[in-house]
Structures are given as C-alpha cells and as structure tokens.
Structure 1
Amino acid sequence: MQPITRRRSLRIAAIAAIALSAAALTGCSASSSGSGKTFTIMQYEDKTTAQGQGWQLALDIFKKKHPDVNVKFQTTSFDGFRKNAKLVLGGNKVPDVVEFNKGNADGGQLASQGLLQPLDNAVKKYNWDDKITGSMQSFAKYDAQGKAGSGQWYGIPNVGEYVTFYYNKDKFKHAGIDAVPTTMSEFTADLQKLKDSGTTPISSSAAVNQGFNQMWIWYSLVSAHADRKQIDNFMFLKGKVDFNKDPWKSGTQEFQDWIDKGYVGKDLGGLNYEQAIVNFLSGKTGMLIWNNGAFARTKDQASFGWGSFTLPGANMSMGSSGHLWGVPAKAKNKDLAYDWINTTLSAKVQNKIGELGGLPLAGDTSKISDPVTKEYTQRFDEVVKDNTLSFYPDYPVPGFLDFMQNNMSAMSNGNETAAQYLDKLQSFYDDGKKTVDQG
C-alpha cells in the first residue's frame, strides 16, 4: 500500500512492458560508460520526492565508485511492478536490485517462491541491522511460508512512514478551532465545527484503484482502539482475529458514523488519493490524512498556514518502514546490488533524505536545519521508539488491498454497512490466512 508511503508513485505508460522484459521499461538513465558490466536498478519513487532525490545522490556516488559499470536506473510504477513482479523476477533477464512492496501479500510471496535472494550474509557484512532496528525490521524478514516478522532478511528499507492529519490553519480558525485537539472527543467536536462552517473536514478518496484515504481513515480509527498484541495478531497472522469484536467493531462503526455525518466528503468512489491531496492543497478541505509522502509537497505548495498531528488520543498510529530494496535470486551482479543498498543507507544520502522530510532510518535528526521538518521527524522518532506503529492494513494476506479498496468504496457510497463489511473482512482474511499457511 505500500507510495512513501502509504506513498504511491504516479502510474506511467506501458505497464505491460514489465511482463515482457525488465529491460523494456521506460524511464531509464544510463551512465556514459558503455564498457564493462551492466547493473540495473528498478524502482518506483518519483524523483521529486525526498526519497527519490536521495537516491539520485546515491546514484551519483555509486557511479563514481564504479566508473566501469554501465548503470541503468529504471523507473516503473508501484502498481505496475506489484502486479507483474513474479514475471519480472522469474524471467531470464532480471534487474540486479529492485524496490518492492512489503507485507505477506507482496514481499512474502516473492520470498517464499524463491524469487528473492536472502540477505542475511549481507546484513551481517554491512551491519544493516544496526541501522534498521525494532519494528522497522518487521517487514524486512519472512519465513519459509512468506509470513513477515521472522525468518531471513529479504528486503532493506531506507525510510519510515507514519500517517498524520495535515490541517489548514485558516480553515480551523474560521471554524472557531483555536488549538490542535489532544483527545478523540475534541477531535470529533472539531470535525463537526468544520462541517458547520461549510468546510469538508477531511479530504478523502475511495476509488477502487488508488483511493487509499478512506482505508487509512478506517484503519486509523481501528488502531486508535487497539493494542500492540491485537495489531500483531492481525498483521502477522497469529491466532484467531475476530473482526466483530473491538477494536475492529468500534473503529469500523466510528468510521461509518464519520461517513454518515459528512466528515469525509461525498462522491468519494470517483476520487483517488491524488485528487484528495489536490483538494486539500487548493484550500477546499480542512484536513488531509496522508503519510510523509505529502510533507514536502505541502511545504512547497500550500498557500495557507498548515501543521500536522497524529490522531489524538490514539493507542496506535498508522505507519511502518518504507518499501524495500531486494535482490532478485536470478540477479547476476549481487555484490554490486549489496553495495548499492549500502550506498542508499550511507550518512550522506540518509541525511539528505532527512533534510527533505523523508524520515530516514539511518539519518541524524539533529542535523536537520528546517525546524518544521525537524519537528515532523522527531515525532516519527518518538512513535518508533514507543513501538506504537500499527503498520498498514493491506499487508497480511494476498489480494487484501484490492478487497479493502472495493469495500471502502461501497461503504463510502452507502452501499455497505459497517456490519456487512466486517463479515466480508472476516471471510476474506480467514481464507487468505489459510492460503498463506499452506504456503
């Protein structure tokens, strides 16, 4: 779910080309050297993002370190690679290092099917486990069945993600809201104040393709009532999860209430996340729920005073490590791939990502010069330290993202109730868990 965040790169043309050949992808840039071996990097970050800019710096460093290597930097889309990853990694001409989505539904399947190279030896050699710690390791490791949270290392994240509510200070003032809410009751009261003032409180989306906002609102409300054990049971397929009990029941009912009261807008089935972001940045809504993928853009493009806060009074907050670097099992230049990953984790690259608000996992927050960016990063450091990140809801079982987006759209359009959604969720999750358990 997961662009950074969950952050998604823009879709580009010719996704079908991925299925035919990794070399056929658009968006390539090669070094001037035509001699020596060719090293292919495949990723889907927009080069204007903090992470994308950090990787451009890493590319410069890497090319200078390996002047005789012909480096091809290929850019695809998140959806394009996710849907065709097995074809790409199982082909005869595979990239040397790839960015892939974490979770049992994506990374876990690739790992369990032998399409990714185990990275334990590289982790030990480069001491990556000293940089990627705690819950940030959870989706880097997968067992033989493809379950996250334990087993061998198959991916290395560069950054973290966490979901906040970006808010328009002018809209808050107009609605009579003088301070950021600190409790859930204050927050819901502020939603009503915004609605009464003629402003849609939260900019959202529920398109069945990339309409992530509603899913994030729903899971944020579930996370608000959850504890660590309940989230881990759900996320890592531990024991029985009963979706007709709290925190699922209370969070989903609260979500339906927000829909019914107009707190998230209307006609959301035709809106994707990009349109939700634009609606917020154009001053049409009071808030936007998104992760750090919108931080730099809001900082650069908002024509109004703004701030951000995590859901007040919540036990857990949505967030995770970022997407992962992985090495295809069939890659011909594995040592170069490990060196590339290590370059992206270097202090120079990580601190550049941090300066741009990208939440680096191996950066030095104290070196961030902009106070707004530093405060935003410090808040992330706190939730990681407190171990209160609840990850993203579509990770546990195959097909979960599409399932959730379809049902979020149905709920948002009034075609499905909270109770009906929870029944469907139970059935889909239990069936998916059986599939994962059977390998």
Structure 2
Amino acid sequence: MTRKTLRTYAAAAAAASVAAIALSACAGPGGGENSGETFTILQYENPDTAQGQGWQRALELFQEKHPDVEVDFQTTSFDAMRQNAKILLSGNDVPDVLEFNKGNADGGQLAAQGLLDPLTEQVEQFGWDEKVTGSMASFARYDENGNAGSGDWYGIPNIGEYVMFYYNKEIFEDAGITELPTTLDEFEVVMDKLLAAGHTPISSSASSSQGFNQMWVWYSLVSAMSDRQQIDDFMFLTGETDFTAGPWAAGTEKFQEWIDKGYVGENLAGLSFEQATVNFLQGDAAMLIWNNGEFARISQDAQFEWDYFTMPGANLTMGSSGHLWGVPAKADNKDLAYDWIEITLSPEVQNLIGNKGGLPIAGDPATIEDERIQAFTERFVELSEADEMSFYPDYPVPGFLDFIQGQMQAMSNGNQDAAGYLDELQTFYDDGKAAQVGD
C-alpha cells in the first residue's frame, strides 16, 4: 500500500477533491481480465468506521485474488458524491465501482438517466438477493422513472442502518435520571430534567450542508407517530400525502416545541453533524441523535460511560439499508466490479463489520464478541423483521435533501415555523412527485 495522495476527478472538473489511496495488486486465477486501465473504487466512508475498516479488509482479499490488478481506492465525501455524481458518471473518466446514495432523489436519477448499469443478472448469478432481502432491498431497485421498490437492481447495500440516541450515562446520573424513557412523554420529562441540571439534552446541527441532525430529530418524531402505509405512500410516491395533517403535522409541531424548549440546543445553523458529534464526545450535551455510523467512533473516543436507545414509544424508527455499491455504465472493468461487490458481502468482511458495530446485512450476529454490539445488532434485526423502519426523509424526490436542510436551518433560526414549513414541504413534494410519476 502506498502513501495517501490527493487526486481530483477530471470529469468532475472543480467537483470535490478526493483522497486517493493507491494500492498495487494484480490478477490471479479466476479473476476478471483487466482491460489495461486501473481498477478504480470510489467511496465515502470514513476509514475509522466499521464499514471503512471492512473495506480495508475487502481490499486485502481483492488483492490476494487479483495480484496483477492495480487498484486505486479513492475516498470522497457524501456531499461531493451526491452533488457531482451525474457530472462524474457522464464523463469519460469514471470509476469502475462506486458508492452512491440510495433513494429516488439520488440513486434513482442515476439509474433512470442510464448512468448506472443494471445488476439484475449479477444479483441472480451471485445470489445477492438471498442476502439483501425485504426492506433492505427496497432502495436497491428502480423502475424506468427512477422510482424505488421495483424494476432492475442498480445497487447492492452491505449494511443496515437505524437511528438512535447515544447518551452519556454520567450526565444522566448527574440529572437524577435512573431509568430510560419508554414513551415520548417520559422522554420529554428526561429532557426537562437535563435542562434543569444545566445540560443541553440533544447535540444537534442545522447547517445547510451536512447539518443532518435536526432533520433526523424532525423525521424521527414524524416516524414515531406514523404507520407503515403513511410512510410507504410518502416514500414510494403512492397514495396521497397531506403534510398539514396526521403525523406530519403532529410531528412537526412537536419538533417546533423541542426547538423552543431548548431540547436541541442553540445556534445550530452553522453546525455540521461532525461538530454535533464532537460536542457530544466533549460532554457538551447529554445525547446525540445519529445512526450506527458513529458507533465505532464513540466506542473508541468517548471518555465516559455511554449507551443508546431508539425513540421511546415510536411506531416506526428511522432506518434502512446502507448506501449502495453500483457499477457505472461507462466502467471499463465491470467483471472486477462484480467481484469487488461479492467480496464485500463475504462472511469475512461482513462479520468484521459486525464486530465493529456496523450492522452487516449478511453477517452472523453469533460471531459478535462484544455484548453491547451484539445487542445493538439484535435490535436492528428486530426492527427489520418487524418492518418498522421508516427509511430517510430525503429519498422520494430530487432536491429534497437540500430543501429539507434549508428548512431545518430556518426553523432552528426562528425564521420559519411549523405551519410555514409544512406548506412549503407540500408544494415541493407535490411538484417533485408530479415530475417523477407524471401526475
């Protein structure tokens, strides 16, 4: 493995700089033939995460299998990939396999525009549909309009995700909290106690770029009050979604209350999710809302006793499959790309991810040695088997993530209220839905 270098994709022009880790390897028996070009992997997982550590092991296994293949393993950011994927994949210098965001707004658009190769044949050949099943497969398939849930496979997830509240046990004890809440009302009592003891309850963020925490607080409240059909109608553009009534109105009004009461802190407009995580790790807030992506980091960096719980009393919990591996239509080394995906789904890589707290889709929970990680994984299995995951709110229509984040920032600043947000949400969603399904 060579030292880290920096490289910028020519096809993306001034799009994001990516940190490239050049790995020399090459091709052994049973591997696909190299076309003469470097086999390029583009992804955006932090190397300290469970997935990032899994990819490093996958690279080692790939190199062992293909000792004559030169591998260029590149790391970009989630935002850079989301914003520049169309430019990148339309050019002539594309990666051979890449990680991309699921959902109609991102992956669906790439599929509908012919920028990704369908993988249905490979799914059948490798048996990936035996590992990626149920709701975990919902955003791996897209129809001709880029709508999720049916049509060809275009991406393969490796992990699942669900959103929880990590909490600082020492702060909870300082505030006199001896039992975890089991209902939403009890949760609010807990946060009132934290405020009274001088602690910010939830570390959050509302930057219009990567300020995801407020969006997750909001959608967790909506999900807590929703049923399966209401979320599926919203997510898959079926039925009618009235944002001024039902769980949408109730959850958004509750979110407004939480902002006004100080449950999520102050001065959030300039904060990113990274800053929210740092604030939690520094003990500046009692809880952090995030998914399993920070489990390994908190395990390693927290200097206090901690644990986690999902939204108390919730009907549904934010969560879904993880991001997807896909193969660009213009990729030069597609057979190697399929082999890379197969390796990332191998028991060795999946169980490594599982032992780091990464919620592998095809892992064996029985191989997990740490009791807390095993319980964490079992909770994921419970949510999956009960079909109680509400996915993520930015999936249904193009531009939704930027729109929602802008509205979250405005609400957190006091420049927007619940009613105004819901009105604008209705308009944006309806316009996007009409464009997607032709209404």
Normalised to the residue count of structure 1, the TM-score between the two structures is 0.94
Aligned partners of 2:26 and 2:379: how far apart in 1? 43
CA gap of 1:215–1:18, structure 2 versus 1, over 3 A, is farther
The percent of aligned pairs where both chains have the same amino acid is 63
Provide the residue aligned with 2:328 in structure 1. Answer: 328
Kindly indicate whether the alpha-carbon contact (under 8 Å) linking 2:206 and 2:412 is maintained by their aligned counterparts in 1. Answer: yes
SS of aligned partner of 1:435 = helix
Aligned partners of 1:76 and 1:175: how far apart in 2? 41
* Superposition map of 1:168-179 within 5 A: 168-179=168-179
1:240 shift after superposition: 1.4
Gaps of at least 5 residues in structure 2 are: 28-33
Provide the residue aligned with 1:207 in structure 2. Answer: 207
SS of aligned partner of 1:28 = strand
Kindly indicate whether the alpha-carbon contact (under 8 Å) linking 2:25 and 2:68 is maintained by their aligned counterparts in 1. Answer: no
CA gap of 1:18–1:188, structure 2 versus 1, over 3 A, is farther
1:120 shift after superposition: 0.5
SS of aligned partner of 1:42 = strand
Provide the residue aligned with 2:141 in structure 1. Answer: 141
1:224 shift after superposition: 0.2
Structure 1 residue 279 and structure 2 residue 272: aligned?
Answer: no
1:303 shift after superposition: 1.2
Structure 1 residue 29 and structure 2 residue 22: aligned?
Answer: yes
Amino acid at match of 2:101: N
Kindly indicate whether the alpha-carbon contact (under 8 Å) linking 2:26 and 2:66 is maintained by their aligned counterparts in 1. Answer: no
SS of aligned partner of 1:47 = coil
Aligned partners of 2:295 and 2:16: how far apart in 1? 33
SS of aligned partner of 1:72 = strand
Provide the residue aligned with 2:261 in structure 1. Answer: 261
- Once the two structures are superposed, what CA deviation does each residue of 1:217-249 show, in whole Å capped at 9, x if it has no partner? 000000000011000000011121100011100
SS of aligned partner of 1:29 = strand
SS of aligned partner of 1:290 = strand
SS of aligned partner of 1:231 = helix
Provide the residue aligned with 1:3 in structure 2. Answer: none
Kindly indicate whether the alpha-carbon contact (under 8 Å) linking 1:22 and 1:93 is maintained by their aligned counterparts in 2. Answer: no
Amino acid at match of 1:84: N
Amino acid at match of 1:337: A
CA gap of 1:295–1:375, structure 2 versus 1, over 3 A, is same
Aligned partners of 2:250 and 2:341: how far apart in 1? 42
* Superposition map of 1:224-263 within 5 A: 224-263=224-263
* Superposition map of 1:283-302 within 5 A: 283-302=283-302
CA gap of 1:391–1:23, structure 2 versus 1, over 3 A, is closer
* Superposition map of 1:8-407 within 5 A: 17=10, 19-20=12-13, 25-31=18-24, 37-407=37-407
Aligned partners of 1:14 and 1:347: how far apart in 2? 32
Kindly indicate whether the alpha-carbon contact (under 8 Å) linking 1:37 and 1:69 is maintained by their aligned counterparts in 2. Answer: no
Deviates more, 1:251-260 or 1:89-98: 89-98
Amino acid at match of 1:279: N
1:33 shift after superposition: 5.3
1:15 shift after superposition: 6.6
Kindly indicate whether the alpha-carbon contact (under 8 Å) linking 2:9 and 2:17 is maintained by their aligned counterparts in 1. Answer: no
Aligned partners of 1:14 and 1:197: how far apart in 2? 49
Aligned partners of 2:14 and 2:424: how far apart in 1? 37
CA gap of 1:179–1:42, structure 2 versus 1, over 3 A, is same
1:14 shift after superposition: 7.5
Provide the residue aligned with 2:433 in structure 1. Answer: 433
After the TM superposition, which segments of 4 or more aligned residues of structure 1 sit over 2 Å from their partners?
Answer: 12-18, 20-26, 32-38
Gaps of at least 5 residues in structure 1 are: 1-11
Amino acid at match of 2:204: S
1:250 shift after superposition: 0.3
Aligned partners of 1:339 and 1:30: how far apart in 2? 17
Kindly indicate whether the alpha-carbon contact (under 8 Å) linking 1:18 and 1:25 is maintained by their aligned counterparts in 2. Answer: no
Amino acid at match of 1:314: A
Kindly indicate whether the alpha-carbon contact (under 8 Å) linking 1:18 and 1:80 is maintained by their aligned counterparts in 2. Answer: no
- Once the two structures are superposed, what CA deviation does each residue of 1:180-214 show, in whole Å capped at 9, x if it has no partner? 11111111111111111110111111111111100
Kindly indicate whether the alpha-carbon contact (under 8 Å) linking 1:200 and 1:263 is maintained by their aligned counterparts in 2. Answer: yes
Normalised to the residue count of structure 2, the TM-score between the two structures is 0.94
Amino acid at match of 2:20: G
SS of aligned partner of 1:335 = helix
SS of aligned partner of 2:166 = strand
Provide the residue aligned with 2:31 in structure 1. Answer: none
